[in-house]
Structure formats: structure tokens, C-alpha cells
Amino acid sequence: MKARKIILACILLVLTACGMAETEVPMSLEPNINPPNQQVDDFFAEFVSEDTPGGAVIVIQNGKILHQAAYGLANLEEDIPLTTDHIFHLASVGKQMTALGILMLVEEGNLNLDDPVGNYVPEVTHFGEDFTLRHLLHHTSGLPDYDGNIMDALYARSDTPTNEDLVAVLSEMTELPSTPGDYFEYSNPGYDLLAVVIERVSGETFPQFMQSRIFDPAGMSHTFSLPNDKRRADPLVAMSYTGESGTPEAYPYDNLDNLYGSGSIYSTTADMALYDEALYTGKFVSQATLNEAFQPAILNDGSTEPYGFGWELEEWNGESYVAHSGAWLGFNSDYVRFPGRHLSVIVLLNRDYDYPNDPRIALKIAEFFLR
């Protein structure tokens, strides 16, 4: 009788453990059982050869991988071929993850999209009540990009400036170049400032928040945000190349690498596919909250700008899709998403030259599957 009770207790412990683990199971995709898509292979062959930098691509629909492949070299000097496991800089594609972090905090009741940024970063209170989180997300805040004045002020503080250096520079600006809401002006400093908001409200560093709230829950085990030593320590991080096809130059780092929020995330195509699928499930925020990210900016004169929260709002043959591209450190990235078809294409390149981009590269690949 005692032995039976012990066995039952063990079974209960196992069942309890399984129940606990169930909530922590990361996202997964159905394995790729499809043959390579010849159209995609031929497309990449037009600009990538076996001895040049190249890239990786994944096409997914309804949680199934339709095509996944890598082309070219990850490192020219060491003659290392690119694989689908290699890690690339996402550049500005990472903006949508910064925006997602803000939406998480909104849904938790920790902030409001129409709050002045100064409520959370007192150093910019002088920009006024209309300098809001929503304006930063839409690039309509009146804050310019990293122009000469901001850059000069940053480098006057440090050779490798940080987000806190940016806050100090903004605190010394007497006024914004334009009134919030008047114009759309793409602003990397705006998204770096949003990362500061995330840090001040959550109590975590931006890289920690991204890891614990987005990467880990989605099972993105090869994704991280700078600053992070894994960038140079992990052999799967691809080297990037800038210049031109005849004389490509390795581009291993930049003095602005310690700024994050506008584009500081490294990932793989497979991890990005997990992220894409997680957006459909409510794992991060509800669909109602996420839908805010796909609304156009409304300017003060009533006109609209087709940019949401880190997403470009586009159309193809009358069909809506959302997307974003990025270019930094010799990397190029492009991500298109057709929510109505549950179809997405993610392209990550380790070169910033000689690649098809008219229309955008991920859309050109998507067309093979949309026709």
C-alpha cells in the first residue's frame, strides 16, 4: 500500500511538472519538408556566388516552412560558407521589437501611448506635452535623425556614445526642429529614446528586457541585443561586408554600437520565423494591442503617413502587407508579412552592395509564392 502511494505521488509530481512546463514551451515551426524552391535559388544565384558574401532566407506560411536556405560565404578570409544557422544584424528591422516592448508596457498599464515622453525621461520634459510616445513610434515627434548637430554633441561626450549620452545631448537641446505631429521624419534617436523609456519603466536594461520578454518566450535561442560579447565570440555570427563586389571590406564594428533601440539586434532567419509566428498567437500582447502597431501615423493636418510602430504599411496588387528593412554595419535585412495570408518572408544579407532591391528583396521572393 505504501509503495502504491509513493508511485501515485511520483505520477502526480510528473504531471504537475509537465503542466508547469507546458506554459514555458517555446514557439516551434513545422520542419521544412519541402524541396528547395528553384525560383528562389535562381534569384539568389543572380547576385551571390560561392565565393562572395551572401545571405539567408526563410519563407513561412501558417507555421510551415516553405523555403529555407543560405547562399554565399559567412567569412571571406576564412572561406566559411553561410548556413541557415548563421546570425545577422537586423539593423532597423529591430525597431518593431522596440515598439513591441512599449506595447507590452502599455498593455500592463505602466504607460500610455499618448503620454509625454518627459513623464518617463524627465531630461526631455522641456520638449513639451505634445512630444509623446506615439509620436516617437510613428517618427512624427519632430526629433531629427542623427544629423551633424546631434552626432557632434554625442562624440563630444564619448567616442562610443550610449543611450544615456543621447539623453544628455537631448536634455541640452533648446527646442525641436519641428512641432510634433507636423511631419514624418525617420528618426533613429527617437527609437533609441524609446529604449530608454523601456529601461526606466521596466527596471531592466534594454538587452535584458528584449531577452526575457521577447526572445526567450518565443524560443529565439540565437538572438540577442547589443551590447553583447556574443557578437564577436559566437562563431555563427556572420562577418559583414561593405563596399562593392570587386573590393568588399569587412565591417566588424562601429563607434555607435553602444546605442540601442533603433537597431541593435542580431538574429537568424529561423529565430525571426519563430518571432513572426508568435505575433499571431498573442504570446507578447493581445491582437487588439498589436493592431495599434499597424495603424498609419495621423499628422496634425489630418493627412496620414503609411508607417505604424516600426512597420511600413504597404500594398502589393491591392493586397495589404506590413514590412521593414534595415541596413547597418554592412548587413542588410528585409522582412515582409502578409497577415491575411499568414505568409512571411525574411531575408538577411551580410553585404550592403549589389543586391536586387526594386521592389524590395523580400517582396520579390514573396511574389514567387503569391502568384
Q: What is the mean pLDDT of residues 310-329?
A: 96
The answer to whether residue 92 is catalytic is: yes
Which pLDDT tens digit goes with each residue over 215-229?
999 999 999 999 998
**Domain spans of the chain?**
29-370
Task: Supply the pTM of this predicted model.
Answer: 0.91
Q: What is the mean pLDDT of residues 127-137?
A: 98
What pLDDT score was predicted for residue 148?
A: 79
Are 289 and 101 in contact by the 8 Å Cβ rule? The answer is no
- 4 — pLDDT class (breaks 50, 70, 90): very low
What pLDDT score was predicted for residue 241?
A: 97
- 32 — pLDDT class (breaks 50, 70, 90): confident
Statement: residue 24 has pLDDT above 70: no
- 26 — pLDDT class (breaks 50, 70, 90): low
48 vs 215: CA distance, rounded Å = 30
Statement: residue 6 has pLDDT above 50: no
Marked catalytic residue, from 92, 262, 264, 344: 92
- Alpha helix ranges (H) inside the chain: 2-22, 38-45, 95-107, 133-138, 148-157, 163-172, 188-202, 206-210, 216-218, 230-233, 269-279, 287-291, 361-370
Q: Give the per-residue SS3 of 213-268.
A: HHHHHHCCCCCEECCCCHHHHCCCECCCEECCCCCCEECCCCCCCCCCCCCCEEEC
- 36 — pLDDT class (breaks 50, 70, 90): confident
Statement: residue 71 has pLDDT above 80: yes
260 vs 276: CA distance, rounded Å = 21
What pLDDT score was predicted for residue 27?
A: 63
CATH class of 29-370: alpha beta
Which pLDDT tens digit goes with each residue over 74-98?
999 999 999 999 999 999 999 999 9
